[in-house]
Structure 1
Amino acid sequence: MDTLQELSARFADAVWSTPLVMLLLGGGIFFALRSRFLPYRHFSHAVGIMLGKHDTPDEPGELSHGQALAAALSGTMGLGNISGVALAIVAGGPGAVFWMWVSAMVGVATKFFTCTLGVMYRGEDSLGRLQGGPMYIIREALPRAFYPLAILFAVAGLVGTLPIFQANQLTALIREQVFPQTDPTLTGFGIGCAMAVLVGIVIFGGLPRVARVAVALLPIMVVTYLGMTLTLLAMHASEVPALLGAIVRDAFNPQAVAGGLLGVILVGISRGAFSNEAGVGTEVMAHGAARTSEPIREGLVAMMGPVLDTLVVCTCTALVILLAGTWQDPQGLSGINLTANAFRQDFGTTGVVLLFGITLILASTTMFTMWYYGAKCFGFLFGAGIQHHYRWFFVGTVIFGATVSIDVVFNLISGSYGLMAIPTMVATLMLSGKVMAAARDYFRRHPY
């Protein structure tokens, strides 16, 4: 296991180096400037689209705008918002949160461009069904010489979309916070089997069932979790300004954790991408299934993801952890247990039980959505006709994730996310002019 942990760490570190961070951060800034901040200026129109004011039932696609956003958010608003933030603070200190904010702000423009392209360049799979995603964008819109980038995305996507992180952290919370057991291996295997059954029941129902489950559960999760965090922060309101100041101050501290200033930036941007997935390309697959013939509308809906995900939910989590001071705990807690201990300080066992319920919803909805992403990658590589076999493999990896260490799991997923971002961002930068031409046409016809 130590060898696997070392190899996974080397893999993640090699991928999340300065060039990739510059690609994501610089690309997002480029999109914001090239669009003259168009996504930010039309946020109210995006809300109207999400609420269904412009839905047309007979347009191509599987999901409404709201369902597509819910399906995408059920993938992004997962345990990255709870345990991923904890991992970021442990690795990079409070300053990492600032760079997560930066990734979210530029991620608004990135998601607008990537998800607009996801609808503009949908392609047919081997069964003739309309599909969206970076691999189809590359295949349909770029010269044949770039096709290896499509393969790279799909291969990395098969690993990056596995449910092992969600299974791992849900197991850790149950085993160490809710029902401590004397045999962690047996407990992890048992919990993994139970989760595998739950996931199998849903994903064998297909994408429409995933969307219905996400739409039903996601608002409950958001309201409950934000209610918990805001209540706790209100109890310590006088301390919040100092915490925000520490986040900004440590973001530019050359002596900060994780190898100084560059280390903090790398941690913050990588954890931000893990949370909101802007530029990674997974969200493009969900939004590419939207029922619309107006690509710009879907891009506008998609851009709300980083705001809701990182600027709101992740910030609440970060403040709770920093308020408790548990990130500096000598016991070496990390991930979901670090966040759970922070809630336990003020809410006791009740806080842990509530967090467990929220985590169960988060982990479940994320795993449901990740199956859809992985299945699309599998179908692209091997043919949609045998895509249904992927479900069995996906369900099996739930058990694997529940029984291995958090470091191995997180490094595998994080490194794969980084590999997925390379073809997604390269293709989007090359096709950004197509998005702007479509945007000018859309707002000429719909002058809001």
Structure 2
Amino acid sequence: MKKQYLVATILLLSTTLAQAEEQSGLAAFGAGLDGFMANIFGWFVDLIFFSVPLGEVSFPLIVGWLLVAALVFTFYFGFIQFRHIGLSLDIVRGKYTDPNPAVKEEGEVSHFQALATALSGTVGLGNIAGVGAALAIGGPGATFWMIMVGLFGMATKFVECTLGVKYRTILPSGAVSGGPMYYLSRGMAERGMGGFGKVLAVGFALMCILATFGAGNMFQGNQAFAVMSSTFSIPTDYSIFFGIGLAFLVGMVIIGGMPRIATVTEKVVPFMALLYITMSVIVLVANFNHIGAAFGEIFTGAFTGAGVAGGFIGALIQGLKRATFSNEAGVGSAAIAHSAVKTKEPATEGLVALLEPFIDTVVICTMTALVITISGVNTVANLQTQALTGVDLTRAAFMETAPIFQYFLAVAVLLFAFSTMISWSYYGLKAWTYLFGEGKGGEMIYKLIFLVFVVIGTIVQFSFVIDFSDAALFAMAIFNIIGLYFLMPIVKKEVNSFIARVKSGEIKKYK
């Protein structure tokens, strides 16, 4: 009955939006909302993205905040992302999961499903459009620094996702609520700072909800339609129908909660990643003789920044920004998904989660960067004459090898946007229930609001609203990382205990 109610509501609300667009101009409403938000919250965006000048370019302090945390956790845990990568792979492959069906562990999803769900939230348009923007501004050298930050960010993901499992809540229904909201409040209370932890938790939850509706929802739908429209020549008048269809598909998934989301993402994420990586490999094979030169440009550009604004500093900043913005290490969002895993050992999921920045940034973002560099479309002349950047630059790069790739790329973009939406709907839902309480009624209200914003995002063109949601996304990192610094000794105790028991044989390896 709930499914039918949800479908009917989507159609009713979408029809209402379509009528509003025809009669009063929803696009005009969006523009008005955009200006209103800019007047009221402009200071907030300026504060979160406050930058300091470095030569010809400026450096956002929020990027430094995330980078410093990644370095601190890497050294504090003794480069755990490299020392135990084999153990991480064994856990995600189920080698430490008891095959006896009679043994039931608390949680809703497997290690692989949790990883797929979290990846679906991070592997998205940023891997296509974001890398294109980074290389358009910072040149091939930005790729080197992007890889470096991705490798260090693995340690941050390990810390936050270990804590996510340790302090999660198991509801009477068996469903799980977890993430920074819970480890900030409960973990900090254990350390005698309950009041401070509560403030951090509430601040994080508020920012998470705001980021969900913007960066995790409207932006995804908006950009997905833009790419589909330009690729298949779809008139903008049809955006409402695209939005309705997308909302319908998203609704069919999120109505089932985390188990349904995990079931979909464990199929969609490998497929979309395989599709995109296969396209990239074909380009690399077709241009095999240029790969060496491309790596040469990447390495040389990392330390010289030849031909880009700000030189070396410009390449460095763009690489740092893209890596931190792409894999979300430190933002805390992934810890919400990983908290739902079936395990009694928090450290196991931290070890699984550290694979995310490697897959997202080191593999997929680097693939995009190599395709763009090898194609040669990011030359200064091309960038100036064709004004190529973002997803247009990436598409042009693929089309240099085979024009048909633009259609496969459009499908990949649609899948990336869809998977990001369903994951972020879950993140926002858990932040919502933390603030307003658990309950089917409250959850349904949130889901309906989320689906309305899916449709709105495909219709109107936002500017400041997206900037505001991006600011909320990175404000999450401020609240989250403060807590991580206080709680990292707890994580060290957990992981040391787990690894010692693995080495002693107390924790069995079943396969």
Structure 2-normalised TM-score? 0.80
* Displacement of 1:243: 2.4
Deviations 1:179-228 (A, max 9, x none): 243xx2x2333322221121112111211111111111221112221111
Q: How does 1:162-241 map to 2 (within 5 A)?
A: 162=213, 163-181=217-235, 184=236, 186-241=237-292
Match of 2:365 among 307, 314, 328: 314
- Match of residue 390 from structure 1: 446
Judge conservation of contact 2:212–2:427 (CA < 8 Å) in 1.
yes
Cα distance change on mapping 1:137 and 1:325 into 2, 3 Å: same
- Match of residue 377 from structure 1: 431
Match of 1:271 among 322, 328, 331: 322
Cα distance change on mapping 1:263 and 1:6 into 2, 3 Å: farther
One-letter amino acid of the structure 2 residue matched with residue 306 of structure 1: P
1:396 and 1:175 map into 2 onto residues whose CA distance is 21
Gaps of at least 5 residues in structure 2 are 1-30, 52-59, 505-511
1:432 and 1:391 map into 2 onto residues whose CA distance is 34
The worse-fitting range, judged by mean Cα deviation, of 74-83 and 119-128 is: 119-128
Deviations 1:271-308 (A, max 9, x none): 21222111111100011111111011101100001111
Match of 1:104 among 145, 150, 157: 150
Match of 2:490 among 427, 434, 437: 434
1:339 aligns with 2:390: no
- Match of residue 81 from structure 2: 39
- Match of residue 138 from structure 2: 92
- Match of residue 147 from structure 1: 198
2:428 and 2:66 map into 1 onto residues whose CA distance is 22
Q: How does 1:342-381 map to 2 (within 5 A)?
A: 342-348=397-403, 350-381=404-435
Match of 1:76 among 98, 122, 125: 122
* Displacement of 1:4: 7.4
Structure number with bigger Rg:
2
Cα distance change on mapping 1:253 and 1:407 into 2, 3 Å: farther
- Match of residue 48 from structure 2: 15
The worse-fitting range, judged by mean Cα deviation, of 166-175 and 245-254 is: 245-254
Structure 1-normalised TM-score? 0.91
Cα distance change on mapping 1:131 and 1:62 into 2, 3 Å: same
Cα distance change on mapping 1:15 and 1:270 into 2, 3 Å: farther
Deviations 1:396-415 (A, max 9, x none): 11123223447556534432
Deviations 1:162-195 (A, max 9, x none): 31222122111111122243xx2x2333322221
2:276 and 2:160 map into 1 onto residues whose CA distance is 29
- Match of residue 377 from structure 2: 326
One-letter amino acid of the structure 2 residue matched with residue 34 of structure 1: Y
Cα distance change on mapping 1:245 and 1:235 into 2, 3 Å: same
- Match of residue 55 from structure 1: 97
1:36 and 1:403 map into 2 onto residues whose CA distance is 49
One-letter amino acid of the structure 1 residue matched with residue 410 of structure 2: F
1:133 aligns with 2:179: yes
Judge conservation of contact 1:125–1:380 (CA < 8 Å) in 2.
no
**Secondary structure of 1:59 counterpart:** coil
* Displacement of 1:360: 2.1
One-letter amino acid of the structure 2 residue matched with residue 286 of structure 1: A
Q: How much identity, in percent, do the aligned residues show?
A: 37
| TM-align CA RMSD | 2.6
One-letter amino acid of the structure 2 residue matched with residue 40 of structure 1: F
Gaps of at least 5 residues in structure 1 are none
Cα distance change on mapping 1:12 and 1:96 into 2, 3 Å: farther
* Displacement of 1:373: 0.5
* Displacement of 1:445: 0.9
2:137 and 2:43 map into 1 onto residues whose CA distance is 15
